[in-house]
Amino acid sequence: MSLTDQEVRHVAKLARIELPDAELERTRSHLNTMLGLIEQLQAIDTTGVEPMAHATELVLRLREDRVTEPDRRDACQAVAPAVENGLYLVPKVIE
């Protein structure tokens, strides 16, 4: 597939990219190269190949779910201007 100057200008307009006339040929060449690579990829026979979510098998390491930090809520709330039932009270800003 080869793009025309008009198609390259249209793509640039859709992408909101200013494309000076001096850059048109180089941009068309780059776009045609990318489209050629896509055509090569589409030509590959993938029959029987299962789709995958990631290129490698990702395995999450399991660890014990345990508390590692002390509860410092009371110390943090001691300096707050207003606290009620363990919650910070703030002034109403939206009416």
84 lies in some domain: no
pLDDT at 60 over 90: no
Run of H or E residues at 69? none
State how many domains the chain has. 1
pLDDT (0 to 100) of residue 21:
92
CA distances from 31 to 8, 27, 63, 67 (A): 8, 6, 48, 54
Q: Cβ distance 32 to 3 under 8 Å?
A: yes
Identify the band that residue 95 occupies on the pLDDT scale cut at 50, 70 and 90: confident
Per the domain annotation, does 25 fall within a domain? Answer: yes
Full-model pTM: 0.52
**Would 65 be classed as within a structural domain?**
no
Beta strands per DSSP E along the chain = 83-84, 87-88
Full residue range of the structural domain in which residue 28 is found: 5-43
Let me know if residue 13 belongs to a domain. Answer: yes
